[in-house]
Amino acid sequence: MADITLTLPDGAKRSYPAGITGAEVAADISKSLGKAAIACEINGKFSDLSIPIDADSDFRIFTMKDEEQALELIRHDAAHIMARAVQELWPDTKVTIGPVIKNGWYYDFDRAEPFHEDDLKLIEKKMREIINKREPVTTEVWDRERAIKFYEANNEPYKVELIESIPGDEDLRMYWHGHWQDLCRGPHLAHTGQVPGDAFKLMSVAGAYWRGDSNNAMLQRIYGVAFRNKQDLKAYLHMLEEAEKRDHRKLGKTMDLFHIQEEAPGMVFWHPNGWTLYRVLQDYMRRRQIADGYLEINTPEVVDRKLWEASGHWEKYRENMFITEIDEEHANEKRVNALKPMNCPCHVQVYNQGLKSYRDLPLRLAEFGSCHRYESSGSMHGLMRVRGFTQDDAHIFCTEDQIAGETKKFIELLSSVYKDLGFDSFDIKFSTRPEVRAGSDEVWDQAEAALENAIKALDLPYEVDPGEGAFYGPKLDFKLTDAIGREWQLGTLQADFVLPERLEAEYIGEDGQKHTPVMLHRATLGSFERFLGVLIENYAGKFPLWLAPRQVVVASIVSDADGWVNEVVERLRAKGIRAEADTRNEKINYKVREHSMGKVPVILAVGMKEVEEKTVSMRRLGDKGSKVLGIDEVVAELVAEATPPDLRD
RNA sequence: GCUGCCGUAGCUCAGGGGUAGAGCACUCCCUUGGUAAGGGAGAGGCCGGGAGUUCAAAUCUCCCCGGCAGCACCA
């Protein structure tokens, strides 16, 4: 057999007989590399060590030191090993798919009896047994027919369905972890023992639809996480614990911000602290919008179905609307109303009052609009997904020529707002036409091009989400992540060529003729509820002073200092600082602890020394020490810091 | 909506077929203490709601309601 030449990453060339495997090359380079090797790369293709190499190639060996490749393989092999463990424990279980995801993997199974949390321990134990066997991972290429026959014989209908749905007729790769077999693209580790037995953990069981379609059967999904070593696993689990502490639902309780109760699922009862935070944010947004040329309006929340019929919501969105009926006995005629699920149709009504000229455009109508949507029970999540919420909504009525400019202007506003609120980066998704949509393809071409060009002109990174646009137009979504990495859509900008026409919005153009304006739906924060949820988690409750609902607590150390405490509070309040007195009969340690846990940014402690010197002892949240300062100095410092970023010099 | 788990005092949770428990919070008393929990006493619950099984249900079963995780959905 002819020799082949392998070129290593350092440029060294080695000759081997054709058909040699990566494993053999690794062992030839050094005995230790032979042991440490987990996979290889042949001409840039991530590959198994066991695959024969037939031609001259660039060649590279991966070991556990190559983090990206190692984690991919560990998680992927762990998925297979878990599936094998499950089938060994419960042979009637049918396997489906098990991909690698962030931090780990999942595998979906079909089994009559659902898995329980306790089963996870059993499965983990079985997995470690398989790992300890250090059984080789082998692979073969089969043609489709053979594979389908094999799975039919083994009563694995999901695998058959998978193969049948793979386009083309290329051959299939089959893998064996010891005796256990799975269809897989690969690559895989060399043997089961290469998965670190102490660096993985099965996390949870959940239902998941086969192929992500709710019309299909629900399968049992098991989630696992895996790392290269025990320390990394521990660090990850620790990170999760820390993230849980900043969960906005937890902080909402400890900071006394809000609650939600059974009688109004998905609706928020804002407490004084939370409402203060809400108002501070709303006041800030109001100033930013006015500065950007928006006109604030306010429109009804309960609106006759006629308007929703005209807008198309009655047909397309009714199942998500809260419908109200007037009791017939007490009404002259039966009217069916709906709580507005969005503000757009109402804004068009405001626009439609009076004849508009092209000189009026762009017309930016803004509303902190209270909306209600009947969200499905399983989708609600604290403040993040609620049924009653307030959008920082606005609709920009403009000409087609103005879309790009308005889009740019909006994204600049949004970036600046997010930065002021502590978010330096965010994700942008550009969603294009969905299958079910209103409007002609020409209109969609135009709308999509306008948005994409605007975002490109600003040179911001974005991803395209094909088919995820609204039924009336394409959109840009702006997303941030919560404490444990779940992504939430906040800001949005949606072009709409449909609604203005449906609701007969018009303007008189330069040519003296009537034209239909374009409508840009846009929200910067999205909804106050969701944004505050993300904001709470982002700051872990430790807000900058200007946002903190409780800014300063002035605490007495001895009751003889109460008079000075109250005086200090008065002076701070006179300057607009949210200050409270704590003159309770408790020790200063107790007060410091309590207000620290309540995330109050500044504690001013006052004892007899401060009374005599007209000073306070200032302690910042998270600091160990404190410093004694004159009252004027403290007031000036806190006032400067409590000034919202848009009002600073 | 679907799968699984959960619902006990204001909060965090223990218990579990036969007088409802703890810590914190709350009220009162003692204590005036210098930067993350001083001490004592007291009050507080139809164990999410309804039905069933049982001599007996907070506990077991079923049905609702709500929550959590994931899936689906998300203008």
What's the pLDDT at A438?
75
Verify if strand B has an atom below 7 Å from the CB of A621. Answer: yes
- In this prediction, residue A84 has a pLDDT band, given cuts at 50, 70 and 90, of very high
Q: Per-residue pLDDT averaged across A327-347, rounded?
A: 84
- pLDDT digits over A193-212, tens only? 999 999 999 999 999 999 99
**Nearest nucleotide, CA A207 to C1':** B3
Verify if strand B has an atom below 7 Å from the CB of A608. Answer: yes
Cα A441 to Cα A572: distance, rounded to the nearest angstrom = 60
Q: Per-residue pLDDT averaged across A596-615, rounded?
A: 96
Say yes or no to pLDDT of A605 above 80.
yes
Q: Would you say A192 and A69 are in contact if contact means Cβ atoms under 8 Å apart? A: no
- Interatomic CA–C1' length for residue A377 and nucleotide B66, angstroms: 10
What's the pLDDT at A543?
97
Cα A398 to Cα A385: distance, rounded to the nearest angstrom = 31
**Nearest nucleotide, CA A489 to C1':** B74
Helix A403-420 to helix A441-457 angle (10° resolution) is 50
The residue that leads in pLDDT, A574 or A169, is: A574
The pTM of this model reads 0.93
Q: In what order do the strands lie in the sheet with A427-431?
A: A295-296, A363-372, A388-398, A518-527, A487-496, A475-481, A427-431, A463-465
- In this prediction, residue A636 has a pLDDT band, given cuts at 50, 70 and 90, of very high
- In this prediction, residue A236 has a pLDDT band, given cuts at 50, 70 and 90, of very high
- Interatomic CA–C1' length for residue A265 and nucleotide B50, angstroms: 20
**Nearest nucleotide, CA A621 to C1':** B36
- pLDDT digits over A58-78, tens only? 999 999 999 999 999 999 999
The residue that leads in pLDDT, A336 or A472, is: A336
The residue that leads in pLDDT, A460 or A273, is: A273
- Interatomic CA–C1' length for residue A333 and nucleotide B73, angstroms: 35
Inter-CA distances, A114 with A88, A90, A109, A224, A277, Å: 16, 11, 9, 17, 44
Verify if strand B has an atom below 7 Å from the CB of A369. Answer: no
Verify if strand B has an atom below 7 Å from the CB of A629. Answer: no
Catalytic residues of A: 344, 373, 391, 393, 395, 475, 521
- pLDDT digits over A92-135, tens only? 999 999 999 999 999 999 998 889 888 999 999 999 999 999 99
Give the burial string for A192-223 (b: 16+ CB within 10 Å, else e).
Answer: bebbbbebbbbbebeebebbeeeeeeebbbbb
- In this prediction, residue A433 has a pLDDT band, given cuts at 50, 70 and 90, of confident
- pLDDT digits over A19-30, tens only? 999 999 999 999
Lowest mean pLDDT among A6-15, A38-47, A282-291, A321-330: A321-330
Say yes or no to pLDDT of A301 above 70.
yes
Neighbours of A16 (CB within 10 A): 17
Say yes or no to pLDDT of A329 above 70.
no
Q: What is chain A's mean pLDDT, rounded?
A: 93
Secondary structure of A511-535 in HEC code, one letter for each residue: CCCEECCEEEEEEEEEEHHHHHHHH
Residues 6+ apart with CB under 8 A from A617: A604, A605, A606, A607, A610, A626, A627, A628
Q: Per-residue pLDDT averaged across A279-292, rounded?
A: 97
Q: Per-residue pLDDT averaged across A144-156, rounded?
A: 93
Verify if strand B has an atom below 7 Å from the CB of A408. Answer: no
Say yes or no to pLDDT of A330 above 70.
no
Verify if strand B has an atom below 7 Å from the CB of A213. Answer: yes
Verify if strand B has an atom below 7 Å from the CB of A432. Answer: no
- pLDDT digits over A457-497, tens only? 888 889 998 888 887 888 999 999 877 778 889 999 999 88
Verify if strand B has an atom below 7 Å from the CB of A207. Answer: yes
**Nearest nucleotide, CA A604 to C1':** B35
Verify if strand B has an atom below 7 Å from the CB of A590. Answer: yes
Chain B: positions less than 7 Å from a protein CB are: 1-5, 7, 11-12, 30-38, 65-75
In degrees and rounded to multiples of 5, residue A188 shows phi and psi of: -135, 170
- Interatomic CA–C1' length for residue A107 and nucleotide B58, angstroms: 38
In degrees and rounded to multiples of 5, residue A148 shows phi and psi of: -60, -45
What's the pLDDT at A28?
93
Where helices occur in A301-354 by DSSP H, the ranges are 305-311, 313-316, 344-352
The residue that leads in pLDDT, A522 or A649, is: A522
What's the pLDDT at A147?
92
What's the pLDDT at A316?
86
Return chain A residues 245..264 having CB < 7 Å to nucleic acid strand B. Answer: 249, 253, 260, 262
What's the pLDDT at A208?
95
- pLDDT digits over A355-411, tens only? 999 999 999 999 999 999 999 999 999 999 999 999 999 999 999 889 888 999 999
What's the pLDDT at A332?
65
Angle at A71 between CA A68 and CA A77, to 5 degrees: 135
Say yes or no to pLDDT of A3 above 80.
yes
- The percent of residues above 70 in pLDDT, for chain A, comes to 99
What's the pLDDT at A328?
67
Say yes or no to pLDDT of A439 above 90.
no
What's the pLDDT at A331?
64
This model of the complex carries an ipTM of 0.95
**Nearest nucleotide, CA A312 to C1':** B75
What's the pLDDT at A445?
86
Say yes or no to pLDDT of A551 above 70.
yes
- Interatomic CA–C1' length for residue A573 and nucleotide B25, angstroms: 28
